[in-house]
Amino acid sequence: MTALAGAPTARIRAAGPVHAVLRLQRGVLIVWAVLFTAAAGALLWAYGPGGNAAAADWKRKCSAHGCDWSAPISNYHLAYAGAEFVIGFVPYLAALVGGALVGRELENGTARLAWTQGISPTRWLATTLAVPAALITAGSTVLVLLHRLLYDAHQVPVTWNWWNGATFVPNGTLAIAFPLLGLAVGALAGLLQRRLVTSMGLAFAATALALTTLGLARPHLWPWVTRTSPLNTGYDAPRNVLVGDRGAVTSTGGHVPDTCFEQAKCLKSVDITGYYVQYHPASHFWPLQLVETGIALAVTALVLATAFTLLRRRTA
């Protein structure tokens, strides 16, 4: 009877920190719910009635000679572009949430009060981060699936390239990994600053720096495909590829910068026999996506380990 009577109490106590986080972050949860609903609704609309109307207008008004974007086509474009913007903003929102959660509770003493109520600092930080991490991950996963559904349907052939940053991230696992990185960076910023405003500012700036660095490194995370072509052909890269380096090829097969710009006399004098171009085809989408996701998750783990280590040392 004693064991049975104690079980509900244990469950209630275990759930206490989770309920506390949910109560404290009602405003954040409302903002996330609004953003998620808006992005999901836009993607579903573009996949359904919006996409059907735009596709019909495209077939009716567009030809090989050009196309005037009508209202249905423009609305379709705005819907998926707006959804991509929201998905791209989620990591920054997560960083602000992490910085606010940790920084505010350390600033007003709520964290220390919780530690005196039988909740260890490690458990406090883990619970504080676990709740928003679960909600943001679940919502981001749904948005990625909806984005891929719309992208694969491709009802209107507007400027939508797989390698474009605004499309590349929402179309795969990076849209799930980046918010976790932002949340971890926010938590570390909160522990370092221990102030609400400065924690959020540092979290936002550090997340922007991390995502910008990963974006710049992205094309170099997987080997390029190299294609060579003769002089009379010029540069020969397929369509819908991410082009990297390109230049001239010498008679010995060496790759050198193209300084002749197709001038016959110059080409002969410097022994140029053709051209080369390096690019990523569409088949490199998932290798690039998964390698960058792995790096993002590794950095997230490192940031979290640093945060927990710093917390333990300060509360020893």
Would you give the end-to-end CA distance of the chain in angstroms?
Answer: 38
In which band, very low, low, confident or very high, does the pLDDT at 4 lie, cut at 50, 70 and 90? very low
In which band, very low, low, confident or very high, does the pLDDT at 159 lie, cut at 50, 70 and 90? low
- Residue range 113-123: mean pLDDT, rounded: 82
Give the percent of the chain with pLDDT over 70: 89
Cβ atoms within 10 Å of 161's Cβ, excluding its own: 14
What global pTM score does this model have? 0.88
Least confident of 141-150, 152-161, 165-174, 209-218: 152-161
Q: What are phi and psi of 264, to 5 degrees?
A: -55, -45
For residues 175 and 310, give the distance between their C-alpha atoms in angstroms, rounded to a whole number.
28
Taking 80 as the threshold, does the pLDDT of residue 116 lie above it? no
For residues 287 and 293, give the distance between their C-alpha atoms in angstroms, rounded to a whole number.
10
* CA nearest neighbour of 253 among 266, 272, 237, 236: 272
Contact 86, 35 (CB under 8 A): yes
Q: How many CA atoms lie within 13 A of 71 on its CB side?
A: 0
Amino acid, res. 27? G
Residue 32 CB partners (closer than 8 Å, separation 6+): 93, 135, 136, 139
For residues 232 and 15, give the distance between their C-alpha atoms in angstroms, rounded to a whole number.
72
Taking 50 as the threshold, does the pLDDT of residue 174 lie above it? yes
In which band, very low, low, confident or very high, does the pLDDT at 114 lie, cut at 50, 70 and 90? confident
Taking 70 as the threshold, does the pLDDT of residue 142 lie above it? yes
Taking 50 as the threshold, does the pLDDT of residue 151 lie above it? yes
